[in-house]
Amino acid sequence: MPIHDQGYRHYGGQRSAPGRRWAVIARAGVRTMFSKRAFIGLLLLSWLPFFVRAVQIYISTSVPQAAALVQVTPATFKDFLEQQSIWVFFITVYVGAGLIANDRRANALQIYLSKPLTRVEYMFGKLAILMGFLLLVTGVPGLMLLVLQILFTGELTFFRENLHLLPAITLFSVIQALTFSSTMLALSSLSKSSRYVAILYAAVIFMSQAIYGVLRQVTGDTNVAWVSLPANMTQVGSAIFRVPLQYKTPWPVSLTVLAGLILASAVVLERRVRGVEIVT
Amino acid sequence: MITSALRIFDLSLGQMLWSRRSVFLALLAGGPVGLALGIRVILLLTPAQLPMVNGARMSGTAIFGLIIWLLYLRFIIPVLGAFYGTSLIADEVEDKTITYLFTRPIPRGAVLVGKYLAYLLCTILLVLPSAVIVYFIVTPLGGGSIGEQFPSLLSDLGMLAVGLAAYGALFALVGATFKRPLVVGLVFTFGWEPGVLIFPGYLKHATIAFYLQALVPHAMPNEESVVGGILQLFNEIPPLETSLASLAGITLVALWLASRATQTREFVLDQ
Amino acid sequence: MAAIIAADHVSKWYGQVIGLNDVTLTVPPGITGLLGPNGAGKSTFMKLVTGQLKASKGAVTVLGEPIWGNPSLYFRIGFCPEQDAFYDRMTGLEWVTALVRLNGATEAEAAAMANRALDYVDLADAAGKKIGAYSKGMRQRVKMAQALAHDPELLILDEPLGGMDPIARRKTIRLIKEWGRSGKSVLVSSHILHEIESMTSNILLVNQGRILAEGNIHQIRDLIDEHPHTVYVKADQTRALARAFLSEDDVLSMKFEDGAVIVQTARPDTFYARLTALAASGELGAIHEVTSPDDNLQAVFEYLVKS
C-alpha cells in the first residue's frame, strides 16, 4: 500500500525568471491602491482637467467662431501636463508616502529581502507603482488628448506639423513621474511614518518654490529659478515642448538639477533599503 | 477639564519638544533663517545694490515682509498646523500609546486640548524666535532701521501666533474626524486655500489665510504667476477686528468640535 | 455578591466583521481568567470593559456603572494593555509618575505612588532607566506598575505574561494572586491555558466572538455531560476498587496504570460521593491520591471548542 507524505509540500509550479520579480511588488501595490475607494475618487478627480481639455479641443475643431479663443497649440499639451502637477502632488503623497515607510514600520523589509528578491527589484517594484499611477494622470491623458485632436479634426495636419508632440508628451511625463517618484521613494525610506514622509515631501516641493519666490523678488530676476523644483520642471517642459522658456535659468541647468535630485534619491535608497539596519 | 488638559499638556510638551519631529520643525523654522543669512552674505560679498521694485529700491524691511508672506504665512504656518494638528491624536494612536491616556480619569476631550496647547507652545517657541532672527538679519539691509520697524515685528509675531493657533485647531478637528487627516490637511493647505483665494465673492471666507492676511503689516508681494496676478486683482483685506474675531471663532469652534469628536470616536489600534 | 463586570447582550462589530456576538455575562469579584485562542474576541471584550470601544449593541457595566464615556470610573480601574508601546524616552519612574498624575495626584504623591508600584513589580532598581533600554519582561512589569500604582479596585490585565521569561512569569503570577488575595478583583486574559489555571479557577471561555462558558473550572467541567470525566485513583487495592466501581452504572470505562485505576464517568457527582464513602470506610484499603487529569483548562477548552 503506498504511503502518502502528509508533510509540507514544496511549490512545484513555474517560477518567474530572475529580474522580473519586481512585478510582484508592483502588482501587489497597484491592487492595494485600487482597493481604496478614496484613491479611486482621487484618480477620477485628477481626470477632470482631461475632460475640460477634451471639450476645448472639440470646440476648437467644431466651432470655427470660437477657434481663436480656444486654439489648440503645442503649448496646450504642455500646459495640460503642468496643470496636472497639483494632482501629481496629491497622488504622489497618497500612494508614495507609505511605499517604503510602511514596510519599514512593519519590519517587512527583512521579509521581502529574505526572499529571492534583490534590493534593486524591490525598489524598482515600488518605483513602478508610483510611476504607473503618475503616468496614468499625465502621460496617458496627454497622449489621449493628442489622439482626440486627430479624431475631432479628422486629419493629420496638426499632428504632422507638430511631430515632436508625441515624444514630447511621453518624455516630459516620464521625467515628471521619475523625478517625483524617486524623490518620494527616497523620503519614504527615511522614516517609518508615512505622515512624516508626506509632510517632508510637501516641504521639498513648496518650500523650494517659496524660497524661489523670495529670491526672485530680492534679486529682481528669474535666474535663481533653479532652486525651485516646480520651476525646474516647468523649464525642462518648455524646452521639450519647444515653447518660450519661462525663467532665465538655462534649461540644461534645470535638467541637471532634476537629474541630481534623481541621483541623490538613488543614493539615499541604496543606503536605506536594507534587510538589516546598519548602525554606524 | 482644564486641570486635566494642563496635565496632558505637561506630559506632551516634553514628548513634542524632544521628538524626532522637532528636527523637521527646526528645519522648517530654520529655513527662513538660512535664507536670510544667504541673502545677507551674498549682498556683503557682491557690491550689487538691491533691485528696484515699482520705482523704489528694495529694502531690508521689504525683504522681511516678503519672507513673512511667502515663507511663513503661505507655507510654514499652515504646514506646521497641518502636520502637528492632524498628529495630536493620530501619533498616539499610531504609537499605540493612546490607551494609557484614554484609560485615565480624564475626559478624552481634555487629552486633545492638552496636546493642542503643547503643540501651540512648542511651535510658538520655535517659529517666533526664527522670525525674530530673520528680522535682525535682513532689516538693516539697504539702510533699514531695526528700532523703527520693531512695532511691525510685534504685529508679525502676533499674526504668526494667531495663525498657528487657528490652523492647529482646524487641523486638530481634521485629525479627530478623518481617517487620512494629513492628506485632507494638505488638500486644504495647497489645494483649497490657494484655489478659492483667487475667486471674488464669499468663497474665500472659508479659509484661514483670508483672515490672517489682514493681520500682516506688510503689503502683499507681486507674484509673476497668473495666480499671483489674480490674487492681486481680487485682493480683499477684511477689517482687523473682523479678522481677529473670525480667527478666534474658528479656533474655538474647531477646538470644541475636535474635542467632541475625540470624546465620541472609537480609536481602533492596529494589531 | 455584586458583579464586578456585567455585559448584557453585548455585540461589537467592525464594519462587517463581528468581534463579539451577543454576549451576556457577569464577572464576580476575585480573579477571573478570560481565555480563548487568538482572534476569539478577548481583545474586543477587554476594550469594551475598559471603555476604549463602545458596544454596537447591548450594555457593558463595570463596578456597577456604564464604562463608555465615564472617565471618573478609571479612578477605580487599572488597565495593563497588551501592546508593547511606551514613551521610550522616559524612564520607568517618569512614565508611571506622569500617568498617575493624570489620576489627579500631585507630583510628589504621584512619584511616591509610582515608586511603590515599581517596587511592587520588582523594578525599583531599574526605575531610573529609560524604558527603551528595558527587556521585554521589564516592559511588561512597568506596564503592570502603571496599572496598579493608583491602587484600583479592579485590575484589568490583557495578556500580561506575553514575552516574559519563566522567572518573570512566576513572579507576575504570584503578584496577581497576591493582588486578588488582598480583596481586589482582577480580570486577566490569556490564550495560554495553564497560565490562567495557575492564577484562578474562575474563568470565562471565549471563542469566535461568543462566550463558551463562564464560572468555576470544575463546574464548567461538570456541565459537559457528553464528555466523560476522567478520575485518577491511586490506591493499594486497585482491582478491588474497580470491582466496587463497576457495581453502579455511573462508570463508563476503566483502565489500570501503575498502582492506579483511571475511571471514566458520565456522572462525576455520584461517582465522587461513592468514592468518598469507600475511602471513609477503609474496606478496600488505603486510597492515596484522587485527581482528575482532564479537569485542567486545556481539556475543558478542547471539549468546549469541539462541541
CATH assignment of the domain containing C180: 3.40.50.300
pLDDT, residue C94, reads: 93
C83 closest CB neighbour out of B7, B96, B102: B96
Nearest to C23 by CA among C67, C53, C70, C55: C55
Checking if the pLDDT of A226 tops 60, the result is yes
Q: Does residue A7 lie in a domain region?
A: no
| A2 domain residue, yes or no | no
Q: What is d(CA A95, CA A130) in angstroms, rounded to the nearest whole number?
A: 6
**C111 lies in the same domain as C25:** yes
Answer whether B97 sits within 8 Å of C103, measured CB to CB: no
Q: How far is C271 from chain B (nearest CA, A)?
A: 47
> What is the per-residue pLDDT for B33?
95
Task: Pick from A36, A95, A207 the residue to mutate for testing the B interface (most B CBs within 10 Å).
Answer: A207
Residues C28 and C171 in one domain: yes
Of the residues B100, B106, B259, the best mutation for testing chain C's interface (the one with the most C CB atoms within 10 Å of its CB) is B100
Length of chain B: 271
Q: Considering only CB atoms, which chain B residues are within 8 Å of A206?
A: 75, 79, 190
Closest CA to A169 of A190, A196, A126, A138: A138
At C297 the pLDDT is: 60
In a domain, B134, yes or no: yes
Beta-strand pair C57-62/C5-14:
antiparallel
Number of domains in chain A: 1
Q: Which of A237-241, B10-14, C261-265, C296-300 ranks highest by mean pLDDT?
A: A237-241
Reported as a single tens digit per residue, the pLDDT across B232-243 is 655 678 888 999
Residues 183-242 of B with CB under 8 A from A: 183, 186-187, 189-191, 221-224
- For residue B29, what are the domain limits? 2-264
Express each pLDDT in A46-58 by its tens digit: 999 999 999 999 9
Domain membership of residue B165 (yes or no) is yes
**According to the model, what pLDDT value does residue C1 have?**
59
Give the domain range for residue A99: 22-272
B52 touches chain A (CB under 8 A): yes
Domain range for C277: 226-294
Local structure of residue C130 (DSSP, 8 states): B
On whether residue A13 sits in a domain, the answer given is: no
Q: Do B71 and A200 touch (CB under 8 A)?
A: no
Neighbours of B208 (CB within 10 A): 25
Number of domains in chain C: 2
Flag whether C112 is in a domain.
yes
Distance CA C173, CA B173 (A): 43
User: Position of cell 517659529?
Assistant: B127
Smallest Cβ–Cβ distance between A218 and the set B58, B86, B222 belongs to B58
In angstroms, what CA-CA distances link A81 with A175, A233, B230, C183? 11, 11, 21, 72
Chains A and C lie in contact, requiring 3 or more CB pairs less than 8 Å apart? no
Contact C102 B96 (CB under 8 A): no
CB-neighbour burial class of residue A79 (10 A; exposed 0-12, middle 13-18, buried 19+):
middle
Q: What angle do CA B66, B68, B72 make, to 5 degrees?
A: 125
Instruction: Point out the residue among B15, B96, B104 whose CB comes nearest to the CB of C99.
Output: B104
Q: Is the pLDDT of residue A223 over 50?
A: yes
Burial of A37 (0-12, 13-18, 19+ CB in 10 A): exposed
pLDDT at res. B154:
93
CA-wise closest residue to A265 among A200, A214, A216, A193: A200
Single out the residue in C174, C193, C221 at which a domain terminates: C221
- What's residue B249's pLDDT? 96
pLDDT at A94: 94
| Same structural domain, C283 and C147 | no
Residues C86 and C33 both lie in one domain = yes
ipTM of the shown complex: 0.83
Q: How far is CA C148 from the centre of its chain?
A: 17
Length of chain C counted residue by residue: 307
Note whether residue A51 is domain-resident.
Answer: yes
Residues A18-37 have pLDDT tens digits of 778 889 999 999 999 999 99
| pLDDT value of residue A280 | 47
Inside any domain, residue C35: yes
Distance CA A140, CA A173 (A): 9
Look-up of cell digits 514544496: A10
CB of B64 within 8 Å of a chain A CB? The answer is no
Residues B114-166: tens digit of each pLDDT? 999 999 999 999 899 999 999 999 988 877 778 888 888 999 999 999 999 99
H/E segment holding residue C34: strand C31-35
Using CB atoms within 10 A of its CB, is residue A134 exposed (0-12), middle (13-18) or buried (19+)?
A: buried
A214/B87 Cβ within 8 A: no
Q: Classify residue C124: in a domain, yes or no.
A: yes
C42: CB partners within 8 A, 6+ apart: C34, C35, C36, C158, C189, C191, C206
Residues of chain C with pLDDT under 70: 1, 221-227, 294-301, 304-307
Residue C153 DSSP SS3: coil
- In terms of domains, do C230 and C273 share one? yes
Nearest to A93 among B50, B74, B183 (CB): B183
CB contact under 8 A, A199 and B83: yes
- CA distances to B97, B100, B105, C49 from C69, rounded to whole Å, are 19, 15, 10, 12
Cell digits for B116? Answer: 493642542
C-beta atoms surrounding C93 within 10 Å: 22
Q: A45: which chain B residues are within 8 Å (Cβ-Cβ)?
A: none
- Asked if B268's CB is within 8 angstroms of C102's CB, the reply is no
Task: Give the model's pLDDT for residue C43.
Answer: 87
pLDDT digits (tens, 9 = 90+) for A84-102: 999 999 999 999 999 999 9
CA atoms in the 13 A half-sphere facing the CB of C246: 11
Residue A165 in this model has a pLDDT that exceeds 90 = yes
d(CA C191, CA C41): 11
| Contact (CB<8Å) B31/A213 | no
State the pLDDT at residue A109.
Answer: 85
Shortest CA distance to A176 belongs to which of A94, A91, A247, A111?
Answer: A91
Last residue of a domain, one of C221, C248, C278: C221
**What does the pLDDT read at residue C307?**
53
Q: Is some CB atom of chain B closer than 8 A to the CB atom of C74?
A: yes
Residue C273's CATH number: 3.30.70.100
Q: If pLDDT is split at 50, 70 and 90, which confidence band does B42 have?
A: confident
Among candidate residues A113, A166, A130, the one with its CA nearest the CA of residue A30: A130
Phi-psi region of C104 (alpha: psi -120 to 50; beta: other; left: phi over 0): left
Alpha helices in chain C (DSSP H): 42-49, 92-101, 107-120, 136-148, 166-181, 193-197, 217-223, 238-246, 268-281, 297-306
How many whole angstroms separate alpha carbon A139 and alpha carbon A126?
19
CA–CA distance, A211 with C84 (Å, rounded to integer): 43
Q: Please answer yes or no on whether C89 and B101 come within 8 Å at the CB atom.
A: no
> Which residue bears the cell 497576591?
C178
Check residue B178 and give its pLDDT: 85
Count Cα neighbours of C20 within 13 Å in the Cβ-side half-sphere: 31
Please say which residue of C221, C255, C276 terminates a domain.
C221
Burial string for C9-26 (b: 16+ CB within 10 Å, else e) reads ebbbeeeeebbbbebebb
Would you tell me which residues 108-167 of chain C have a C-beta closer than 8 angstroms to some C-beta of chain B?
Answer: 146
Whether residue B196 is predicted with pLDDT greater than 70 in this model: the reply is yes
The whole-chain average pLDDT of chain A stands at 89
- Name the 3-class secondary structure at A245: coil
Which among C86, C87, C142, C156 is the top mutation candidate for probing chain B, defined by the most B β-carbons within 10 Å of its own β-carbon?
C87
Give the model's pLDDT for residue B107: 93
With b for 16 or more beta-carbon neighbours within 10 A and e for fewer, the C216-237 pattern comes to ebeebbeebeebbbbbbbbbeb
Chains that touch C (3 or more CB pairs under 8 A): B
Q: What is the DSSP secondary structure assignment for residue C186, as one 8-state letter?
A: E
| B193, three cell numbers | 486655500
C216, C276: one domain: no
- Residue B51 falls inside a structural domain: yes
Instruction: Note whether C272 and C181 are same-domain residues.
Output: no
Number of domains chain B is built from = 1
A110-125 per-position pLDDT tens digit:
888 888 888 899 999 9
Q: Which residue, among B88, B94, B183, B270, would best test binding to A if mutated, counting the most A CBs under 10 Å from its CB? A: B183
Strand C31-35 vs strand C185-190: parallel, antiparallel, or unpaired? parallel
Asked whether residue C202 is assigned to any structural domain, the reply reads yes
- Enumerate the residues of chain A whose CB falls inside 8 A of the CB of residue B31: 207, 211
* C107/C260 Cα distance (integer angstroms): 63
CA distance C161 to C176: 11
Q: Are C49 and C30 members of one domain?
A: yes
